[in-house]
Amino acid sequence: MFEKLKAQPADKILMLMQMYREDPRDTKIDLGVGVYKNAEGVTPVMRAIKAAEHRLWEEQQTKAYVGLAGDPAFSDAMIQLILADAVPRNNVAAAATPGGTGAVRQAFELIQMANPDARVFVSNPTWPNHLSILNYLGIETVSYRYFDAETRGVDFEGMLADLKGVRRGDVVLLHGCCHNPTGANLNLVEWAAVIDVLNAAGAIPMVDIAYQGFGDGLEADAEATRLVASSVPECLIAASCSKNFGIYRERTGLLMAISQDTSAHALNQDTLAFLNRQNFSFPPDHGARLVTMILNDADLRADWARELEDVRLSMLSLRQDLADELQRLTGSDRFAFLAQHRGMFSRLGASPELVEQLRTQHGIYMIGDSRMNIAGLNAKTIPILARAIVDVGV
C-alpha cells in the first residue's frame, strides 16, 4: 500500500526555516515564520496565561474529556469577545477546535456537507492553508482580486467586480482583520459594500479572524466581523487564540455558525458536534480553559489586555520605524504603506527574484511572495533590512 503514496509538495515556510537555521551569518533576519516575537526574538508566555496556568494546576480535579463541542463556557467567552452584542447568543452555534486551522477545516467540511455545489471565493492572495485545505477537500475555489501591487493597498474596485460573480449558496472567505499575508485591510464603508453584494446574491460570508487585538485594538479589530454577523442571514466565523493569547502550541480555536433564524440553532449545534466527532472527537481543553479563565476574571483579563496592547503598539512602532528608515534612505514615501498595514504581516511587493536576492546577498528570509513578519524585526535589524531592500532595488 505505502508504495503507492506520492511525495507531497514541500512546505515553503518549513524549507525557509531550515535554510535560516543553516545560514551561518550573524546578520541574518527571520521574517518568514508567522509567530510573534519580542525584541529578544522570543515568543513569550503572556503573564495572564502563566497566572491562569498556576491557578489551573492548583484547582483542576480531572483530565476527563470535555463535550464534543468543548466547554460551553469557552464558547460563551469567545463569542462575547468577538461578537459582543452584535447578535443574540442563541443565534450562535459554536464548537471548540484544534486551533484556528481546525476551525477553518471544520467550516469547509460544514460547507461541503450543507451544499456540495458551493464554490468558495478566496482573496488573492490569502493564507496558503486556506487553498491547501479547500483543494484537498475537492471544493471548487474562485479567486477574487484583493491586493494592489502598485499601491500595496486593497484593490477594492477589483474585489467588488469579482464578487459580483458569486451565486446563491456560494461562500466568500474574508479576513476579519490584519489580512494575512498582505496586512492591507478594508475599512468599514468597504465592508458594508461587500455585505450588500453578498446579500443581493444570496452568498454566505465566512470570516477568518486570527489576529484580533493585533491591528487597531480588541474592539476595533472586531468591528468588521460584528458588522457581518449582524447584517447577513447566515455566516461562519473561524477564530484563533494562538496569536492574541500567545498559546500557539495549545491549539485553541472556535468555529461559529450564525443564523438569524433562531430555530436553526439546535441543528447547527448538533452538526458542529458531529463534525468534531468525525475528525478528532473531543477538542483539546487546556488552552481553551486558560482563555476562559482569563476572559471571565476581571484582573486576569485586564492584565492580558494590557500586555496585548503592548504587543500591538510594539508592532506599530516597528512598522513606522521601518517606513521612516526607508524614507530616509530613498528620499521617497513609496514605503509609507508599511506603516498603514496592520497585524504581523506586510507584503513588500518584491518579485520572487528580488526576495531570493535578499536571502542570498543579505540573509533576509521572507516568503517568496514577499510576505514578511514585522514582529521578526527589532531596533537593531530594521536598518539592516532597510539597507538590503534599497540595495536589491525593491
The domain total for the chain is 2
> What does the pLDDT average to over 172-182?
97
Give the pLDDT confidence score for residue 174 in this predicted structure. 98
210 catalytic residue (yes or no) = yes
State the average pLDDT for the chain: 96
- Do 91 and 237 share a domain, yes or no? yes
The reply to whether 339 falls in a domain is yes
Give the pLDDT confidence score for residue 8 in this predicted structure. 86
| Residue at which a domain ends, from 261, 296, 331 | 296
Give the pLDDT confidence score for residue 194 in this predicted structure. 98
Summarize pLDDT for 14-37 with one digit per residue, the tens. Answer: 888 899 999 999 999 999 988 998
Among the listed residues 51, 243, 321, 323, the single catalytic one is 243
Give the pLDDT confidence score for residue 9 in this predicted structure. 82
- Do 253 and 317 share a domain, yes or no? no
- Do 16 and 141 share a domain, yes or no? no
The reply to whether 233 falls in a domain is yes
The reply to whether 52 falls in a domain is no
208 catalytic residue (yes or no) = yes
Does the structure show a pLDDT above 90 at 343? yes
pLDDT-derived band at 297, boundaries 50, 70, 90: very high
Give the pLDDT confidence score for residue 3 in this predicted structure. 93
Give the pLDDT confidence score for residue 15 in this predicted structure. 87
Does the structure show a pLDDT above 90 at 154? yes
| Residue at which a domain ends, from 244, 263, 296 | 296
Among the listed residues 148, 162, 208, 221, the single catalytic one is 208
> What does the pLDDT average to over 354-364?
96
- Do 214 and 246 share a domain, yes or no? yes
Among the listed residues 210, 288, 339, 350, the single catalytic one is 210
- Do 176 and 260 share a domain, yes or no? yes
Give the pLDDT confidence score for residue 17 in this predicted structure. 87
The reply to whether 146 falls in a domain is yes
304 catalytic residue (yes or no) = no
- Do 90 and 238 share a domain, yes or no? yes
| Residue at which a domain ends, from 296, 326, 356 | 296
The reply to whether 15 falls in a domain is yes
- Do 18 and 99 share a domain, yes or no? no
HEC readout, the chain: CHHHCCCCCCCHHHHHHHHHHHCCCCCCEECCCCCCCCCCCCCCCCHHHHHHHHHHHHHCCCCCCCCCCCCHHHHHHHHHHHHCCCCCHHHEEEEEEEHHHHHHHHHHHHHHHHCCCCCEEEEECCCHHHHHHHHHHCCCEEEEECECCCCCCECHHHHHHHHCCCCCCCEEEEECCCCCCCCCCCCHHHHHHHHHHHHHHCCEEEEEECCCCCCCCHHHHHHHHHHHHHHCCEEEEEEECCCCCCCHHHCEEEEEEEECCHHHHHHHHHHHHHHHHHHCCCCCCHHHHHHHHHHCCHHHHHHHHHHHHHHHHHHHHHHHHHHHHHHHHHCCCCCCHHHHCCCCEEECCCCHHHHHHHHHHHCEECCCCCEEEHHHCCCCHHHHHHHHHHHHCC
Where in the sequence is the domain holding 156, given as residue range(s)?
Answer: 65-296
Does the structure show a pLDDT above 90 at 41? no
Among the listed residues 93, 107, 127, 238, the single catalytic one is 127
CATH of the domain at 110: 3.40.640.10
The reply to whether 378 falls in a domain is yes
- Do 243 and 366 share a domain, yes or no? no
- Do 29 and 87 share a domain, yes or no? no
The reply to whether 49 falls in a domain is no
CATH of the domain at 18: 3.90.1150.10
Does the structure show a pLDDT above 90 at 318? yes
pLDDT-derived band at 269, boundaries 50, 70, 90: very high
The reply to whether 171 falls in a domain is yes
| pTM, full prediction | 0.96
